[in-house]
Structure 1
Amino acid sequence: MTQENLVVCTKCGVVNRLPLGRNGTDAKCGKCGALLFSGLPQDIDAANFDRQIGRGSLPVLVDVWAPWCGPCKAMAPAYEAAAKALEPHIRLVKLNSDKEQAIAARLDIRGIPTMILFHRRLEIARISGAMGTSQIVSWVRGHVPTGTS
């Protein structure tokens, strides 16, 4: 039996099988053809959030943000750079707390930006406040279970 990761497409939400030995940087969704890892964190809606957390096998880092938030805007380039460093071993996504208020409430978001790291459906770490690229990468690698990053 081949070892594989289940990777949820951020565009259409379909679950794709990606063999562990395959370089995921050029992998495309079997349904919509979008790159599974673009090097840029994608904004997702509530349904895609639930699929990322519930169906994917990769650790998922969620940046909860809002368009009016100055620190969120300031951190955006660092989060994008972190995606380039961490993908394809970690899925990085963005969740707009204004558009997805029900998810933000379910996650008990008290301040933004807040980053939450999930693995196998469970929240394994959370931090609030803007961070630089190296801080984000170090924080994620310090919390991801061995062998998954």
Structure 2
Amino acid sequence: MSTLLVAVDNSLIARKVTQLASEQALAQNADVVVLCCVDASYAGPGSTLIIEAGEDPGDFGAALDEQNTAEAAVRMALSVLHAHGVRATGRVVAGESAQTIVAQANEVNATMIVMGRRHLSSFNRLLKGSVSAAVIERASCPVLVDVRDVKQVKTA
């Protein structure tokens, strides 16, 4: 059984990535682990929060801080995957994004990482660095990066 690791955040890009992951999971008969990284300085107790699929996103309440926002993003992705019949669990993990994505992919023996790209300007890429480029450089499995423009994708 293969496992896809899907990196999401609280953005429109995450919705596209979740849809792409759903298509890939069904095509590959793969399980999915949805991951959202949070800055370690904002993390609550414990470094990893495991979330199961199948819960109603309406029960999540308002996101009040970074960890709650990350949890809501993972739960929303899980609800989409679950609705498409994809077996999925979620994780909120504290740490630097690229390192955490690669480490979690290794931990779950992911056969593929699915993530988005923010289309940073040259200045912001220099200032902040590209998470997707860093993951591609470090990952030991294939990385599928959705590079379509968010404006071209219809949201449900």
TM norm structure 1: 0.31
TM norm structure 2: 0.30
Structure with the higher helix share, 1 or 2: 2
* Structure with more relative contact order (C-alpha pairs < 8 Å, separation 6 or more): 2
